[in-house]
Amino acid sequence: MDAVQPEAENGPVSSSSTREVDEDETHTAMLWSIQEAVQRQTLQIGVSACGATAVVDVLQALGIEVTTEMVNLCVRTSLRRNKALLPDYLHSRSKAGATHLQLIDGADEASGGLVVGRFFSLYPQRRVKLVPWLARWILRGAVPVATMNMQRAVPAGEEIPDAWHHQLIFGVAPSAVFMTNPLDVVVEEEVHERLCSESVLLIRREDVLKRLTPDVQLSQISDQNPDPRWKALHVEDKVRQIISEEDLNDDDHPKTTHLMIPAAYSSGVTFFALRDSNVGRELLNTPELSLQ
């Protein structure tokens, strides 16, 4: 379906304020209230489709009506090849879901060119105060989406999550970030740590072992992928180490719990706005964040 033209020229109006304020003085800004977020948020629309789900909410926040099916088609979500042998499975895991580039292109295509996105990398560490920075852009009418490595800042005693995640940020308050899918309020420090991550993914030991068969050629892990990071991370060697640990069957020594592989994702925040709005033009002309 065609995108519906938004009513507001400059994007959503924050319920906090529309005035221009200094970044360091602003710690509260909301696109939606919590009650509005409960009603308006989009729940996960498909397998590995957290990115497309976030884009649905972005377009909604910007006043553009597009079906979830159209958005998912435009984002072009990649799926895990769960039934593949280990090399192909690992390659699919490294890019399952979507990157920030796919989110930007998907929002552009689904909106008929009305929406523009701008990604700001937060890795390596940048000189930025996360909540004031987010508040500044939200107050200007931009809609932020976080691309986070959820395998970082894992609370003690909890299992390491199995993936990265995209979440729309519908507001911030002092030391807190409000997000959808799932609806959550997360401490600023935790969000910041997940937003500042190397592009890697941890694969659970059992997911490696269950895809090892006698005919698996481990050399395909690196040889069939042009990305040099597969060799730099010694992925093939680490798989052999896991196999060796199984063969030894020594319960007195700790076993490798996860295999680290390259990931296609980059940690950071993508801001979306109407292309012809002041904030849209400002986003495209704003320099990258300075390194720490």
What secondary structure does DSSP assign to 164-191, as a single string? EEEEEEEEEETTEEEETTTTEEEEHHHH
**What residue has token string 């009513």?**
7
Say if residue 22 is exposed, middle or buried (CB neighbours under 10 Å; 0-12, 13-18, 19+).
exposed
Q: Domain containing 80 — which CATH number?
A: 3.90.70.10
Query: d(Cα 178, Cα 173) in Å, to the nearest integer?
Result: 8
Residue 17 lies in a domain: no
Query: d(Cα 50, Cα 52) in Å, to the nearest integer?
Result: 6
pLDDT number for residue 21: 41
pLDDT number for residue 86: 97
Question: The tokens of 179 are what?
Answer: 């997000």
pLDDT number for residue 12: 52
Tell how strand 258-262 and strand 115-121 pair up: unpaired
Residue 240 lies in a domain: yes
Q: Are residues 143 and 244 in the same domain?
A: no
Q: Are residues 98 and 224 in the same domain?
A: no
Q: Are residues 158 and 111 in the same domain?
A: yes
Q: Are residues 89 and 145 in the same domain?
A: yes
Per-residue model confidence as pLDDT tens for the chain (292 residues): 444 434 344 445 444 333 334 445 689 999 999 999 999 999 999 999 999 999 999 999 999 999 999 999 999 999 999 999 999 999 999 999 999 999 999 999 999 999 999 999 999 999 999 999 999 999 999 999 999 999 999 999 999 999 999 999 999 999 999 999 999 999 999 999 999 999 999 999 999 999 999 999 999 999 988 999 999 999 999 999 999 999 887 777 889 999 999 999 999 999 999 999 999 999 999 999 999 9
Residue 290 lies in a domain: no
Q: Are residues 235 and 277 in the same domain?
A: no
Range of the domain at 228: 201-262
42 CB-near residues (< 8 Å, 6+ apart)? 53, 56, 57, 60, 68, 180, 181
Distance of CA 119 to the CA centre of its chain: 11
Say if residue 161 is exposed, middle or buried (CB neighbours under 10 Å; 0-12, 13-18, 19+).
middle
Residue 144's SS3 state is strand
Query: For the chain, how many structural domains are there in total?
Result: 2
**pTM of full prediction above 0.85:** yes
Question: The tokens of 60 are what?
Answer: 């909604």
Residue 13 lies in a domain: no
Query: d(Cα 146, Cα 265) in Å, to the nearest integer?
Result: 12
Residue 124 lies in a domain: yes
Q: Are residues 279 and 162 in the same domain?
A: yes
Q: Are residues 132 and 221 in the same domain?
A: no
Q: Are residues 47 and 167 in the same domain?
A: yes
| 3-class DSSP string for 225-242 | CCCCHHHHCCHHHHHHHH
Question: The tokens of 252 are what?
Answer: 């007195």
Q: Are residues 170 and 277 in the same domain?
A: yes
Helices marked H in the chain: 34-40, 50-61, 68-75, 86-93, 100-110, 130-140, 188-195, 205-209, 220-223, 229-232, 235-248, 278-285
The one-character DSSP state at 23 is G
Q: Are residues 227 and 164 in the same domain?
A: no
Q: Are residues 220 and 258 in the same domain?
A: yes
Describe the crossing of helices 278-285 and 130-140 by its angle, rounded to 10 degrees: 140
Residue 191 lies in a domain: yes
Q: Are residues 112 and 181 in the same domain?
A: yes
Residue 292 lies in a domain: no
